Amino acid sequence: MRFGINTLDDVEVKGKTVLCRVDINQPVDKAAGKLKDTTRIEACIPTLRELSDKGAKLVLMAHQGSDIEYKNFYTTEPHAKELARFLGREVKFIDDVCGPAAREAIKALKSGEILLLDNVRFVSEEQTLFETKLLLSHEEQAKTLLVRKLAPLGDIYVCDAFAAAHRDQPSLCGFEELLPSAMGRLFEEEFCVISGLMEKPDRPCVFVLGGAKINDAFLMMTTVLSGGIADTVLTGGLVGEVLLWADGKDIGEEARAFIKKEGYENLVDTGKELLTKYREKIVMPGDFAVVQDGKRVEYSLGTIPPGALILDIGSESAKKYQEAIRSAKTVFVNGPMGVFEEAPTEAGTKMVWEALGDTKAYTVIGGGDSITATKKYNKTGLINYICTGGGALIRFLTGEELPVVKALRHGSKIKAKK
């Protein structure tokens, strides 16, 4: 038991049917029917291996793609192949979620065998639109089709989907009403790392926040500054630009128009408040890179020519950030410094990631594109912890009890049938 939740040490799974929710949502190459990345698949392998080794009949539930971006919905069939490859054992797949075919396949499982069900979001109850419109309680989620059909076949529910722990959906929060529950090893590890970071980070504790999806970054910045967790926040990407705008600096008409187009103009006011309260802890870039005639050109703040769009922090700022990262004891990163996918605008991100690789600080990285950057610059083995959960991590950092954590605490009190 940790954090009021059973771990795999607390449940007896031999010969039992274990319904296990994982988060193996990955970018998919639909034309080739293959996954473009396997970070999350690899991350849940220890839990699956342990459950299978201990003799569980293991049923995996997972989602792929979001209904908000409906076009990336996809079957989990390629995931079964990747899971099998990393586990070195068979992983069965059934193209059904909770209908008769899925239930027959579950009943046919033998001790140690693994079955992956199809994308749970093919069931409407699992969709985010459903979640956010209907706001079902966990008791109500226990009465959804998915839980009603599958829970009677299961003995234990295990959740290893920390990356989805901020979601309030039946496959994540409904089974814990009915079955003895536990968190998997990945969930446990991520929970430990993140709560340790929140409670007493080694200081100085530096947050590096950038990227282009910046609502979360601002939420996180507010939390870690008001909670006294961050000693310094280094900013890049749109985060830095919005803060400079809030500070009355001229980032150029192009950048302002881009920020408006992305819908982040409202964050300028948040930025003003943050600067009023925590100015001495917030570091903003002082130079930038733009692309002219296909080449990188750097300008210091205030000299960006009309028509030029900021696409990276400049090398002076990047050097300053490197120093701060190298003299820190804890560094947390979410979001790249610029458009690192393109050669002329990758230098800022590349330099920051170099420092992440060689600092003695404890380093944590979260966020999909930040993980991509970590791979691109070959730093994966040098980062202390790569968190699979972006959204969950941010919600965790704001201090609220995540829906799945709440559900698991409830399910941890249910006794196993003999």
Residue type, 319: K
In whole angstroms, the minimum distance from the beta carbon of 414 to Mg ion comes to: 36
> Given the complex with ligand ADP, which of 309 and 414 has the nearer CB atom?
309
Taking CB under 6 A as the criterion, the residue among 154, 174, 252, 338 binding ligand ADP is: 338
In whole angstroms, the minimum distance from the beta carbon of 39 to ligand ADP comes to: 12
Binding segment toward Mg ion, per CB under 5 A, in 71-79, 182-190, 360-368, 378-386 = 360-368
Please report whether residue 92 would count as binding Mg ion according to CB under 5 A.
Answer: no
For the CA atoms of 128, 134, 139, 141, the dihedral, rounded to the nearest 10 degrees, stands at -40
> Given the complex with ligand ADP, which of 168 and 369 has the nearer CB atom?
369
Residue tagged 């929140």 (tokens): 198
Taking CB under 6 A as the criterion, the residue among 17, 76, 181, 334 binding ligand ADP is: 334
In whole angstroms, the minimum distance from the beta carbon of 52 to ligand ADP comes to: 32
The whole-angstrom distance between residue 303's C-alpha and the CA centroid of its chain comes to: 37
Taking CB under 5 A as the criterion, the residue among 92, 213, 329, 406 binding Mg ion is: 213
Residue type, 389: G
At 383 the three-state DSSP class reads coil
| Interface map 312-351 toward Mg ion (x if CB under 5 A) | -----------------------x----------------
Structure tokens at 350: 């590349």
d(CA 390, CA 195): 15
Choose from Mg ion, ligand ADP, none: what does 368 bind? Cβ within 5-8 Å by kind: ligand ADP
Taking CB under 6 A as the criterion, the residue among 285, 367, 389, 403 binding ligand ADP is: 367
In whole angstroms, the minimum distance from the beta carbon of 210 to ligand ADP comes to: 6
Q: Which of 43, 402, 381, 369 is nearest to 217 (CA)?
A: 369
Q: Which of 45, 42, 38 is nearest to 20 (CA)?
A: 45
> Given the complex with ligand ADP, which of 389 and 390 has the nearer CB atom?
390
Taking CB under 6 A as the criterion, the residue among 164, 251, 267, 339 binding ligand ADP is: 339
DSSP string, 341-380: TSGGG-HHHHHHHHHHHH-SSEEEEESHHHHHHHHHTT-G
Taking CB under 6 A as the criterion, the residue among 18, 83, 120, 238 binding ligand ADP is: 238
Structure tokens at 253: 């008409």
For Mg ion, how many residues bind (rule: CB under 5 A)? 4
- Residue 56 in contact with residue 100, Cβ under 8 Å? no
- Residue 92 in contact with residue 114, Cβ under 8 Å? yes
Please report whether residue 311 would count as binding ligand ADP according to CB under 6 A.
Answer: yes
* CB atoms inside a 10 Å sphere around CB 220: 27
Contacts of 236 (CB under 8 A, 6+ apart): 208, 209, 210, 285, 313, 317, 321, 335, 336, 337, 338, 348, 349, 352
Taking CB under 6 A as the criterion, the residue among 104, 202, 250, 341 binding ligand ADP is: 341
Choose from Mg ion, ligand ADP, none: what does 389 bind? Cβ within 5-8 Å by kind: none
> Given the complex with ligand ADP, which of 122 and 288 has the nearer CB atom?
288
Please report whether residue 252 would count as binding ligand ADP according to CB under 6 A.
Answer: no
DSSP string, 87-145: HTS--EEES-SSSHHHHHHHHT--TT-EEEEP-GGGSGGGSHHHHHHH---HHHHTTSH
- Residue 309 in contact with residue 345, Cβ under 8 Å? no
In whole angstroms, the minimum distance from the beta carbon of 90 to ligand ADP comes to: 33
Taking CB under 6 A as the criterion, the residue among 201, 211, 314, 411 binding ligand ADP is: 211
In whole angstroms, the minimum distance from the beta carbon of 197 to ligand ADP comes to: 17
> Given the complex with ligand ADP, which of 271 and 367 has the nearer CB atom?
367
Q: Binding residues for ligand ADP, per CB under 6 A? A: 210-213, 237-238, 310-311, 334-336, 338-339, 341, 367-370, 390
